[in-house]
Amino acid sequence: MAEKINKLDHGLFIVFEGGEGSGKTTQAKMLAERLTQKGYDILVTKQPGGDESICKAIRALVLDPQYFGTVSSRAEFLLFMADKAQHIDSVIQPALARGKIVLSDRYSASTFAYQVVARESCSREEFDFVARYALQGLQPHLTIWLDVDPVAGMQRNRAVPSQQLRFEKETIEFHRRVREGYEEYLTKHTDPSRVLRVDAGRSIDQNHATIIERMKELLQGR
């Protein structure tokens, strides 16, 4: 007998956010495995690079270490926003329409934290203007924020050679500003009922348990 797949009427959009070395990618994979075991229809995706064509090409461009210090900050910001527009239109919205639970590794909070606050690529007003067009009003049902101390996070990433991409070459002060950006966006510009702040300094299993409890609440009645 085929395993029953639980589809939601309108899908569910869950986003994992956090600085380098926060463990958000690990937590997204663990949640996907848990929900799949429960019979839910899951799509795991990421930003940048959420499809196998345009987004993948944008990801290769914006994360390439050879462009460290040379790419225009305005161009970088617009590339990230272009990735979001393509990702939403080609991947996220179609999946939500089919009743899937979409788990995304990064979304708008990352762009605000990295490009607006840390990089100062544009003003907050300019971010809002571009985001309205790129996101078309799509907001996560829940943002899971893995809050990590930048020093600890960078130490974790340096232990993994494959993680040495362009943003890992930034100074620790840059990553402190990234954390400040997350703090601002997720406490002042986001509905607090849609944010779960998780201490990334705790163990992987502790954080997974916290996330599971919140997901149980979110899925009740759906």
User: How far is Cα 1 from Cα 19, in angstroms, rounded to an integer?
Assistant: 43
Tell me, rounded to whole angstroms, the distance of Cα 25 from its chain centroid: 9
pLDDT per residue over 146-202, tens digit each? Answer: 999 988 877 776 665 555 555 667 788 999 999 999 999 999 999 999 999 999 999
| Nearest one of 36, 52, 44 to 14, comparing CA atoms | 44
* The two three-digit tokens of residue 28, written as one number: 């997204």
Residue 132 above 90 pLDDT?
yes
| Nearest one of 115, 114, 49 to 87, comparing CA atoms | 49
DSSP for 73-110?
A: HHHHHHHHHHHHHHHIIIIIHHHHHTTPEEEEE--HHH
For each of the domains in the chain, give its residue range(s) and CATH number, in order of start.
Answer: 12-219 (3.40.50.300)
Per-residue model confidence (pLDDT) at position 2: 36
Classify residue 6 by its DSSP letter: B
Q: Using alpha carbons only, what angle is made at residue 190 by residues 214 and 113, rounded to the nearest 5 degrees?
A: 105
User: How far is Cα 98 from Cα 8, in angstroms, rounded to an integer?
Assistant: 8
Residue 32 above 80 pLDDT?
yes
Element of type H or E holding 22: none
* The two three-digit tokens of residue 193, written as one number: 């009922």
Bridge partners, 101 (sequence order): 12, 42
Per-residue model confidence (pLDDT) at position 3: 46
Per-residue model confidence (pLDDT) at position 153: 78
* The two three-digit tokens of residue 25, written as one number: 């990618």
